[in-house]
Structure 1
């Protein structure tokens, strides 16, 4: 009798206006969930101080882990290939490490001195190059706007420098020393710990997913394994491809600038390779110092530099990137540009470099989580769910 009474009350509640209009309303449910999410974000902002120790730990541990992961994705195929050639895993890792040390020694003895001389000359002559560029722009446009602007900037900066040195010398000095020591310590920790982390990743990297899954509930291990496999596949392809393309771009610029006789060819080529790690914008940013040097040299040199840039862009866009990268992350170019702007504003240079693979990881997690939510929430049509699952499978098979 009591159970029948409870069932009757439950039925009446589900037929009430409160159930129909509030509890069982999809719009209201979405609004409530959104409200809870924003409330949690607001509260986390208010208690952000308790996360400062975590931030300090991540700032110390993060760089060596990131660099070790990058080198792992780059070197792991080489170690696997050597292992197939009847090397033991440890012997293959030792051989790769020995090769890296040899390349570092060669670079320090032969390449670094050339870069050092070119950098010193470029930095020493940069004011001359810049002033000459302003004069030529004024002559081209028939105005004195650029030279006048530079004169005002030099006067302003002189006054600001004198007043700043008079007022804040001690604070700047103490802060600079503290910042220098902190940076030096961070660099030392990164250089010391990265080889050890890289060694264990190369040796036991394939066991990392199993170690992560071991601490998760059994029911979600299957889905989590798929997520980890997708993340590993996309990030490894992106990291290897991006580094190979950057190296190819640097070599092409170096060879091209050397052929046309541009000053600082090696330094500008290496700079172009590093800048190419920034998608879409890197090559154009790398051309700025090369164009300035070429303008100061002669109009003919400017034309040849632009020809080198056009040939490089053609080879990179039509041959190298499609063969090596393809459409690895399946991210629209507009999204990439906005992502670079936001990540650069929030996290600086590392945000620009790591923002895109980080976004790819979040995209995989969100898409898989949304597919799981569609399946178990019952709020979506079965046909829509089937179409979305087929869409995910098609994207995975590309």
Structure 2
């Protein structure tokens, strides 16, 4: 057998002089790649918000893909997609019939009662301040009045400023979203776009695998498995938890009303409790605050009953639901999560707050994997991924190397020797 070295495709043999034609073709290929990348990036930047429906379609496809794969065991892919569509349409119709109208009415009542709550709170605070001032010296009263005046002025200025900013933000968002017909048409094509994306997901891995260089295929798929394991399980688990917590809160608040504890806006509070599950660590606590405030109108017994109810729901979630639905996917300490929430809130708003926990876990595991691969000597991909996933991905099948004629001749014979 010859000992000739194999030259990778697209590279110049080391024992040949510089070929200017090869160099120009290589530069032209790289310029073509850079030009195509710049053109695609420029188009995505210019289209902006009109691509939002397609982004939503890709997110829905990612979330629905595990359900589609389970249904594929019993029916063709197109039938699985249509089944999910049918169930989704039924769920949307039920929501529009039984959830949206009462929720809209309760939101309208809640907003209309806000001035009355502010007036009651103002009278209560004024009464408490008056009783306190009646029992302190005159000099202390003057200092307290000055402090109260400054606090009220600051609160009014901040409230006005925040209200103006919120109104301007909502107005600009609504105008920006509905200003183009393309955006509305994009939402109309989501079902068709989602159908074709789900239909061709089985071919996508093969297309990506052929486009990747053989030296980076294993690393690419290992990093993708890390992202999919953490992000997919966490987001799907949190959405399922939010739905369960909403139902539990609705049932619990309804039972409290049956027992004589006055709690209004039950459906709205249940929806808030479900949305609060999307925010890690502090979300369930924040979602309980509106229920406690609403229960104040029914007396301290109602407040105590609501607090006990939310504590029971929280314990059931932590002890039963979370271990079975989400598990220990993130492996992040609660103290670190709270710091991440503060950073995310100051940098990216609500969306980054919701995604801060899985993004931090993904960044940690990808860093560990790349650190293992870049050490000297580097760990192979199957060892670098060990311990980062609950179930390590199966290695790619290896080709069987057929023995050569020389190896067959030199292999010792089995069995008794010939006589």
Same fold (TM over 0.5): yes
2:108 corresponds to = 120
RMSD across aligned positions (CA): 3.6
Measured against aligned partners, the alpha-carbon deviations of 1:110-165 in whole angstroms (never above 9, x if no partner) come to 2111001111001100222244345556667865889978864686589x79xx99
User: Cα offset for 1:319?
Assistant: 0.6
Which of 225, 231, 236 aligns to 2:227? It is 231
Which structure carries more helix by proportion? 1
Distance 1:248 1:179, change over 3 A: closer
Paired residues of 1:133 and 1:296 also in contact (CA < 8 A): no
Instruction: Quickly say closer, same or farther: Cα 1:318–1:149, change in 2 above 3 A.
Output: farther
SS, match of residue 353 in structure 1: helix
How many angstroms apart in 1 are the aligned matches of 2:269 and 2:298?
Answer: 15
Structure 1 residue corresponding to 2:70, chosen from 77, 81, 86: 81
User: Deviation of residue 349 (structure 1)?
Assistant: 1.5
* Contact 2:229–2:389 (CA under 8 A) maintained in structure 1: no
Q: Deviations over 1:333-367 (max 9, x none)?
A: 22222222222222211111223333333333322
Classify 1:250/1:117 alpha carbon distance in 2 versus 1 (closer, same or farther; 3 Å).
same
What CA distance in whole angstroms lies between the structure 2 residues aligned with 1:334 and 1:182? 38
Tell me the residue number matched to 2:178: 184
The reply on whether 1:250 has 2:238 as its aligned counterpart is no
Partner residue in 2 for 1:394:
387
Q: Could you say which residue in structure 2 is the equivalent of 1:294?
A: 295
- Is 2:191 aligned against 1:198? no
Pairwise CA distance, 1:218: 1.5
For residues 194 and 364 of structure 1, the distance between their equivalents in structure 2, rounded to whole angstroms, comes to: 33
- Which runs of 5 or more structure 2 residues have no equivalent in the other structure? 1-40, 134-143, 258-262, 392-419
- TM-score with structure 1 setting the length: 0.71
Check whether the contact 2:227–2:362 (CA below 8 A) recurs between aligned residues.
yes
State the TM-score, normalized to the length of structure 2: 0.68
Corresponding residue for residue 373 of structure 2: 372
Tell me the residue number matched to 1:315: 316
Query: What residue in structure 2 maps to residue 21 of structure 1?
Result: none
Change (3 A) 1:97 1:124: same
In 1, the alpha carbon distance for the partners of 2:347 and 2:189 equals 26
Given the alignment of the two structures, is residue 104 of structure 1 paired with residue 92 of structure 2, yes or no?
yes
Summarize the Cα distance change of 1:53–1:67 in structure 2 as closer, same or farther, 3 Å threshold: closer
State the partner residue of 1:335.
336
Aligned match of 1:34: none
Q: Which of 1 and 2 has greater Rg?
A: 2
Instruction: Name the counterpart of 1:324.
Output: 325
Question: Residue 253 of structure 1 contacts residue 312 of structure 1 at CA under 8 Å; is this kept in 2?
Answer: yes
Please identify, of 52-61 and 207-216, the stretch whose mean Cα deviation from structure 2 is larger: 52-61
The DSSP-based 3-state class of the residue aligned with 2:329 is coil
Between Structure 1 and Structure 2, how many residues are aligned? 328
The answer to whether the 8 A contact 1:371-1:389 is kept is: no
Could you tell me how far apart the structure 1 residues matched to 2:102 and 2:148 are?
33
* Aligned with 1:68 (options 57, 80, 97): 57
Q: 1:236 to 1:157 in 2, by over 3 A?
A: closer
Contact 1:73 1:240 in 2 (8 A): no
Partner deviation per Cα, 1:293-341 (whole Å, 9 max, x = no partner): 1112211110111011111111111111111111112222222222222
Superposed displacement of residue 91, structure 1: 1.2
Give 1:80 shift.
2.3
* Cα 1:360–1:118 shift into 2, 3 Å: same
Match of 2:357 in 1: 356
1:274-289 → structure 2 map (5 Å cutoff): 274-289=275-290
- Distance verdict in 2 for CA 1:269–1:177, change over 3 Å: closer
Give the match for residue 37 of structure 2: none
Paired with 1:350 and 1:215, the residues of 2 have a C-alpha distance of 32
Extract unaligned runs of 5+ from structure 1: 1-50, 166-171, 378-384
Q: Indicate if the aligned counterparts of 1:213 and 1:224 stay in contact, CA closer than 8 A.
A: no
- Provide closer, same or farther for how the CA distance between residues 291 and 358 of structure 1 changes in structure 2, counting only shifts above 3 A: same
Alpha carbons of structure 1 residues 77 and 176: separation in structure 2 relative to 1, 3 Å? closer
| SS class of match (1:394) | coil
Task: Report the Cα distance in structure 2 between the residues aligned to 1:306 and 1:392, rounded to whole angstroms.
Answer: 44
**Alpha-carbon distance in 1 for matches of 2:249, 2:282:** 16
